[in-house]
Amino acid sequence: MSEDEDAVVAKPRPFWVAGRPETSEETLDVRHPFDGTDVATVSVPTPEHVERAVAAAAGVAKQFRSLPAHRRAAALEHVSQALAERTEEIAETITAENGKPMKWSTAEVGRAVSVFRFAAEEARRHVGELQRLDTDASGEGRLGLIRRRPRGPVLAVAPFNFPLNLVAHKVAPALAVGAPVIVKPASATPLSALLLGEILAETDLPEGAFSVLPVRGSAMAALVEDPRLPVISFTGSTGVGWGIMRSAPGKHVVMELGSNSAAIICPDWTDLDWAASRIATFGNYQAGQSCISVQRVVVHRSLAEEFIPKLVSAVEALKTGDPHDPSVDVGPLIDEGNAERVADWIDEAVGAGAQLLTGGKRTGATVAPTVLSGVPATAKVSCEEVFGPVLVVSVVDTVDEAFEIANSTDYGLQAGVFTRDLQTAFRATAELEVGGVIIGDVPSYRADQMPYGGVKGSGNGREGLRSAMNDFTEEQVMVLSGLEL
């Protein structure tokens, strides 16, 4: 490689201020979680860059909300098509910065393609409703036109575990309703968001409609507190999320936080091989770093003797290793510090009397997929969010007991209930304290257009295109009078 080529490779990636690429003297290095090799160097915005981005978002807000729906939809369609055309490149970027296996990175790109396509469709349908007001005598001759207007520019704070699709779930609905958006990607995984900024810059969105700012520390706090950003959409850890709410009490804050999701195997379920395979896969995909990864497995005693060995075998069949290897199922955690934490929690549970059925070993940032049984309810792997490849198995005598265990947590995102009994299914939706109940499958199922979010410590508000569009807007009523209805 020539010196000129070396210079090109070493050139820091730009960030995006009001739709334009910018650089600065300060940089951060992105490293591959599996082996720590350098992936890229990224420029970090200065306070002056941040101020320009926020001022541009505030300045364009009125113009952008009035932009015709077809232009917003066209921009969103372009993003969807460009992501699809560049799937291989973007999937490689996700794997390089995040460490998830290529098959999961490719799936993530596919989901983001759908998210922007759904957003384009919803942008054309987001028209409001008419309401007759002559249902009482005082309303004769009156008609209400109820429309939704953007609350204002959106600060979108994204996590590392889905560095493209969870950015898409904030950017796409914001642009669909005509709200400027400032993306703050995770410091460990800024590359996918910056690449999305490159694609957005190809559209004819007005200047200021989007910025991508990989800031850290005090700059992040300044964005949270800035009154020109009245909406915050945050996905990440519970502690940070509630801290944001305390820092911005006058803002509309939407949060998708953590969970320790349960999969319940009811006594009527017969296909134990399929259930074991699904739970093994979705307890360990993304190395367990998904808010709706299966963490707790609750199985009826009548099935436990047959089911648990099947689950252990399915987990042991998962291959760990270099995520660029297409045969690898489970890659590393985001960094070695998190892997050490997960290993420590496993050791704590075993020390408290839990039985290690498989896994439990750590190599660098990789933790072998792990199954534990007999875990005390107070152990961290049982009552907190592991965010790692760990399954905790409990055996119960009744469905009532299973539901009690599923609810015995500060979280409430989604739950999976393996049953074909209609009464049990409706009982689950009535009694489980979660935002979503998946019948006949793991809690990890998510369709990107459906309302998605949790209760209790799992946050507030909902993602999913139409739901997020509603969160980013507020109703405005115009009453027309003197009409002949």
Question: What distance in Å separates the CA atoms of residue 475 and residue 147, rounded to the nearest whole number?
Answer: 6
Q: Lay out the sheet containing 210-212: strands in order across.
A: 20-22, 15-17, 210-212, 181-184, 154-157, 231-235, 252-256, 459-460
Dihedral, CA of residue 388, residue 393, residue 399 and residue 403, to nearest 10: -30
Question: What distance in Å separates the CA atoms of residue 342 and residue 385, rounded to the nearest whole number?
Answer: 10
Question: What distance in Å separates the CA atoms of residue 230 and residue 250, rounded to the nearest whole number?
Answer: 8
Which residues are paired to 255 by β-bridges? Answer: 234, 460
The two most distant CA atoms of the chain are separated, in Å, by 83
Amino acid identity, position 393: V
* Radius of gyration of the chain, Cα coordinates, nearest whole angstrom: 24
Residue 268 contacts by C-beta under 8 Å, 6 or more apart in sequence? 419, 420, 421, 424
Question: What distance in Å separates the CA atoms of residue 453 and residue 413, rounded to the nearest whole number?
Answer: 6
Residue 341 contacts by C-beta under 8 Å, 6 or more apart in sequence? 388
Question: What distance in Å separates the CA atoms of residue 158 and residue 165, rounded to the nearest whole number?
Answer: 9
Other C-beta atoms closer than 10 Å to the C-beta of 22 total 18
Residues known to be catalytic:
256, 291
| DSSP helix/strand/coil, 113 | helix
| DSSP helix/strand/coil, 222 | helix
Report the half-sphere exposure of 73 (CA within 13 A, side-chain side): 11
Question: What distance in Å separates the CA atoms of residue 5 and residue 1, rounded to the nearest whole number?
Answer: 6
Among 397, 406, 404, which residue's Cα sits nearest to residue 295?
406
